[in-house]
């Protein structure tokens, strides 16, 4: 049992040690002395530095498919060709596999440097070109105005990369860079002033300079999509002991003075970021459930209220601690985002969102995609299913349909009342009489005949009246004949 514990500890130590292994390629071993403070700061932070000449024939980055180094520093601007198995393609593959790179050059940089810069999204100026500024140069300049003084205001606003407190002026002596506009991953960390330009100081300016004004980038960086980091400086002098300890005295303008330059602080911050000591974040735990429940579920019903929580950590001083931010967002996606909301920060690095599931069923994903300058990209997705309501879950009466309910019942009541009126209502119709002719009233008893017309249509009533008139005419004719017969018998 103890043997297994010892082996486990040795494995952890070896893994941690391998993560700190750093290969340093130099032109000559004197750079170990001229840049000793920078290398010492790395060693004090636990990095194991391996110094080798850039043209060493035994150079290798990996063996048996495993990389020997996690970080690579190239301080060899004059090398014409790398030795051993290292070339531009090998360095590019090293970055693609997650390795970190720190490169520093100068005006004498070879074409190998330009090839590496091009692969990383930068473009170096022509050979022998230096950044010149006739208005912002140091008092110790040799007369070419190439030892320029750069204000800390020219740094990018990214405390994670360059640090939070940069108040001292910076010294720079080297060549300028131009960034690829189409590469959105490249960042200009330090730019020159508007009066600077990049050209050969020993030649007369006959053509428009390659880099002019604030487009002249002095130090640039790139964080690849696999979170590999690259810092590219146009000045090897920037990391030297001379630049770290030199006083700064600006000749023209506001005549900035400082007992010490800010190069050391900035170089330390850049190396910490480049080698993954800063800006590393990760997801520790994710859980989601219906509001009111405690157990997580992979299936939800439309219109459910869901609680989503994610716990994020940040690497600080070698320890994982709670990450603090107020711009972490969650997307609930089914092809397109149906819900996008900002997560509320809770204690201990927990971020929470409470929302109602859309009224559209399908397969959804909880997505957190956090990509900010200086931090590693944080991406996490969880897939869940959203189903429609069961037939027993629908409402019996929908409030929005109440007007239709009222109109339907009012129509039924109206039909019922109309039926009663139609069936039981009866109109009173006046009676019509047939009167005997006045000529025969004294002889014959009146003949009366009542014709009652009830509920007859107009055509039938007309026929009835015509028939009654014909009967009256026939009775009148009979009465005349009877009266004539009686009169003849009396006078005969």
Among the residue ranges 19-28, 82-91, 221-230, 245-254, the one predicted with the least confidence is 245-254
Instruction: Check whether 17 has a pLDDT greater than 70.
Output: no
Residue 328 in contact with residue 370, Cβ under 8 Å? yes
Give backbone dihedrals phi and psi of 223, rounded to 5 degrees, phi first: -115, 115
Residue 415 in contact with residue 329, Cβ under 8 Å? no
Average pLDDT over residues 7-16: 42
- Residue 482: per-residue pLDDT: 62
Label residue 348 left, alpha or beta by phi (over 0 means left) and psi (-120 to 50 means alpha).
left
- Residue 438: per-residue pLDDT: 44
Share of the chain above pLDDT 70, in %: 84
Beta strands in 192-335 (DSSP E): 196-199, 211-212, 217-223, 229-233, 248-249, 257-258, 281-290, 299-301, 305-316, 319-322, 329-334
Instruction: Check whether 367 has a pLDDT greater than 80.
Output: yes
Instruction: Check whether 3 has a pLDDT greater than 80.
Output: no
> pLDDT tens digit string along 95-139?
999 999 999 988 888 889 889 998 888 888 888 888 998 888 888
State the virtual CA torsion across 422, 423, 427, 432 in degrees, nearest 10: 130
pTM for the complete prediction?
0.73
The owner of tokens 């997580």 is 296
> pLDDT tens digit string along 250-261?
877 677 788 889
Band the pLDDT of 329: cuts 50, 70, 90.
very high
How far apart CA 60 and CA 218 sit, in angstroms, is: 30
β-strand partners of 124: 177
- Residue 449: per-residue pLDDT: 40
| Structure tokens that stand for 51 in this block | 């110094």
> pLDDT tens digit string along 447-467?
444 444 445 556 655 666 666
């Amino acid at each position: 049992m103890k043997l297994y514990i010892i082996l486990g500890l040795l494995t952890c130590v070896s893994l941690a040690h391998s993560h700190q292994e750093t290969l340093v390629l130099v032109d000559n071993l004197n750079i170990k002395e001229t840049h000793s403070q920078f290398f010492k700061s790395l060693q004090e932070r636990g990095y194991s530095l391996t110094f080798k000449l850039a043209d060493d024939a035994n150079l290798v980055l990996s063996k048996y498919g495993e990389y020997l180094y996690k970080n690579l520093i190239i301080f060899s601007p004059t090398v014409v060709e790398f030795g051993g198995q290292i070339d531009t393609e090998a360095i590019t593959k090293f970055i693609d596999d997650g390795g970190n790179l720190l490169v520093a050059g100068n005006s004498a940089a070879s074409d190998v440097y330009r090839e590496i810069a091009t692969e990383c999204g930068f473009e170096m100026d022509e050979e022998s070109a230096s950044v010149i500024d006739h208005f912002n140069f140091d008092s110790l300049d040799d007369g070419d105005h190439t030892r320029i003084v750069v204000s800390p205001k020219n740094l990018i606003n990214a405390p994670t990369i360059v640090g939070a407190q940069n108040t001292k002026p910076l010294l720079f002596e080297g060549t300028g860079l131009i960034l690829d506009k189409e590469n959105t991953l490249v960042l200009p960390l330090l730019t020159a002033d508007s009066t600077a330009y990049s050209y050969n100081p020993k030649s007369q300016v006959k053509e428009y300079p390659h880099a002019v004004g604030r487009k002249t980038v002095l130090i640039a960086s790139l964080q690849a999509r696999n979170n590999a980091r690259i810092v590219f400086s146009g000045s090897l002098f920037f990391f030297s002991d001379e630049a770290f300890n030199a006083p700064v005295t600006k000749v023209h303008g506001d005549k900035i003075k400082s007992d010490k330059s800010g190069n050391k602080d900035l170089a330390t911050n850049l190396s910490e970021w480049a080698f993954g000591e800063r800006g590393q974040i990760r997801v520790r735990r994710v859980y989601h459930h219906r509001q009111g429940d405690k157990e997580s579920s992979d299936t939800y019903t439309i219109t459910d209220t869901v609680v989503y929580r994610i716990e994020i950590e940040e690497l600080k001083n070698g320890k994982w601690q709670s990450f603090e931010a107020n711009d972490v967002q969650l997307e609930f996606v089914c092809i397109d985002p149906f819900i996008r909301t900002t997560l509320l920060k809770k204690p201990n690095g927990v971020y929470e969102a409470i929302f109602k599931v859309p009224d559209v069923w399908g397969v959804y994903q909880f997505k957190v995609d956090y990509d900010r300058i200086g931090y590693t990209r944080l991406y996490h997705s969880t897939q869940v299913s959203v189903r429609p309501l069961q037939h027993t879950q629908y409402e019996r009466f929908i409030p929005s349909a109440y007007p239709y309910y009222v109109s339907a019942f009012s129509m039924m009541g109206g039909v019922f009342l109309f039926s009663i009126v139609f069936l039981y209502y009866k109109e009173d119709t006046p009676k019509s009489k047939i009167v005997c002719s006045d000529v025969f009233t004294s002889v014959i008893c009146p003949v009366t005949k009542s014709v009652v017309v009830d509920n007859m249509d107009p055509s039938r009533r007309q026929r009835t009246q015509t028939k009654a008139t014909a009967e009256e005419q026939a009775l009148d004719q009979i009465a005349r004949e009877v009266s004539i017969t009686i009169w003849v018998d009396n006078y005969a």
